[in-house]
Amino acid sequence: MWVLLVLSLLTLAYLFWHKTKGSGAKHPKSLPCLPLVGSLPFLPRHGHQHVNFFKLQEKYGPIYSFRLGSKTTVIIGNHQLAREVLLKKGKEFSGRSKVVTLDILSDNQKGIAFADHGALWQLHRKLALNTFALFKDGNLKLEKIINKEAAVLCDYLATRHGESIDLAEHLSLAVTNIICFICFNFSFKNDDPALKALHNLNFGILEALSQEIWSDRFPGMKIFPSKAVEKIKSCVRMRNELLREILEKRKESFTSDSITNMLDVLIQAKMNADNNNAGLDQDSKLLSDRHMLATIVDIFGAGVETTASVIKWIVAFLLHHPLLKKRIQDDIDQNIGFNREPALSDRNCLVLLEATIREVLRIRPVSPMLIPHKTVVDSSIGNLIIDKDTDVVVNLWALHHSEEEWHRPDLFMPERFLDPTGTQLISPSLSYLPFGAGPRSCVGEMLARQELFLFTALLLQRFDLEIPDDGKLPSLEGNPSLVLQIDPFKVKIKVRQAWKEAQAEESTS
Ligand code: STR
């Protein structure tokens, strides 16, 4: 009895203390909070987290916080505040917290995406950007590489004419090969078992990450066994082993005279650092074999799962909107025809396709809450104090679904990205950041945009993508993990009649 009374008094005191602290010192408004468990009982348990956080805005406004254990998390839900965090004060908010599962993925915060703010992250991000710069023109032009892999995919699909199939695996093979080229100037043969293994392992990792992992919320729970964590560990181990083998083999062909891929860039940076100050250079330590692998692994994960996922979303929305698909195909027929493949320069005339891609990235963002940021110093948002080491989550879903910013945000309407004449692309709202912004923004944005355009243009030029024979339309609900994935679905592949006729004509002329 006494124990109960003391406990309830303590709880009340804690709640009261937290409230006054919240309002007096002008921290963001907080969800209620109990000792030990923090705000856990007050956080919705069901449904998608990004949607739940968006709903909580109705009660708490566009910025609020909650506590789990000793950790405070601030949620940001409008573009004004998001831009302050990502752009205006980007540097102050560019940290990353340690999280059990992300530590496994990143070999303890190495690489780029999950590395904390500091020399390691800065160096590897810079080297990744330098790598992408290699592929701007000439023989290494991204456009050529993408078109080649997209054509291989289409040639394969043509062999499945009339069948209803899941595109996932072959799409993933195509984008894996593009990333493989960027990292190693190497591409897999389509039937290489390693390619399939990579696909399956990535899938396993994302699937395990979509489960509730308690130690990510309460690191102390690491001591209890978790099936999901074990699965991530074993998939990561096997995936890293696969990539390490390729890396070791490709390393042998390195020559300073010709830097043509990410591995070359990393090795060259390491050699330069070693030659500086006879090995005392700090960068050298940050470029060990493990560091190089971690960055390559990041680029693989980020480059494959994201693009493949968005292309699937685009196909799914087109199955739901056959008239839109027809209009895009008419554009392709008029502007490109059938005698050449689509090029990036066609983006100016295929505006409806480009608007469709942008709308898919709005309504189903790849990363609905980006990756959580962390303050590296004491900072502020508006007039609210944000202490050092606070987790800050930008709820991109809220930005992309705000009624104030978008007319009927839940409707799929590519036209919102076009002017009233339907001929010019426009930016209808500032509340749109599909690739994030600022110092942590996506390093692969250019690659991704080019892939999305060229793959969808080529697919629609050659195929009618139709509802499968069982009449099942894909679910548009989604399945959030680190990437908002679409549930597996099938699409009926039909080579377009007009394409067949054009090919027949070409071969007789
Ligand atoms: C996908 C699965 C995998 O095998 C490895 C990775 C590591 C990098 C991750 C990637 C993941 C998912 C998408 C991420 C990417 C880093 C940046 C990207 C989270 C888990 C996004 O921010 C969308």
* Residue 417: φ, ψ to 5°: -95, 10
The string of pLDDT tens digits covering residues 41-92 is: 999 988 999 999 999 999 999 999 999 888 899 999 999 999 999 999 999 9
Mean pLDDT for 434-459 is 97
Is residue 366 lining ligand 1, measured as CB closer than 6 Å?
Answer: yes
Radius of gyration of the chain (CA): 24
Is residue 301 lining ligand 1, measured as CB closer than 6 Å?
Answer: yes
Nearest alpha-carbon partner for 466 in 487, 495, 501, 499:
495
Q: Is the pLDDT of residue 36 over 90?
A: no
| 391-394 and 71-76 beta bridge pairing | parallel
For ligand 1, the distance from its centroid to the CA atom of residue 482, given in whole angstroms, is 6
Q: Can you give the pLDDT at residue 476?
A: 98
pLDDT level of residue 19 (50, 70, 90 thresholds):
very low
Q: Highest mean pLDDT: which of 25-39, 197-211, 350-364?
A: 350-364
For ligand 1, the distance from its centroid to the CA atom of residue 304, given in whole angstroms, is 9
Residues whose CB falls within 8 Å of the CB of residue 118, separated by 6 or more in sequence, listed in order: none
Mean pLDDT for 26-48 is 91
Q: Can you give the pLDDT at residue 22?
A: 46
Is residue 112 lining ligand 1, measured as CB closer than 6 Å?
Answer: no
The string of pLDDT tens digits covering residues 375-428 is: 999 999 999 999 999 999 999 999 999 999 999 999 999 999 999 999 999 999
Q: Is the pLDDT of residue 171 over 90?
A: yes
384, β-bridge pairs? 381
The string of pLDDT tens digits covering residues 418-438 is: 999 999 999 999 999 999 999
Is residue 238 lining ligand 1, measured as CB closer than 6 Å?
Answer: no
Nearest alpha-carbon partner for 354 in 441, 426, 262:
426
Which one has a higher pLDDT value, 438 or 11?
438
Q: What percent of the chain has pLDDT over 90?
A: 74
- Counting ligand 1 atoms within 8 A of each CB, the residue from 242, 479, 483, 485 with the most, and so the one to mutate, is 483
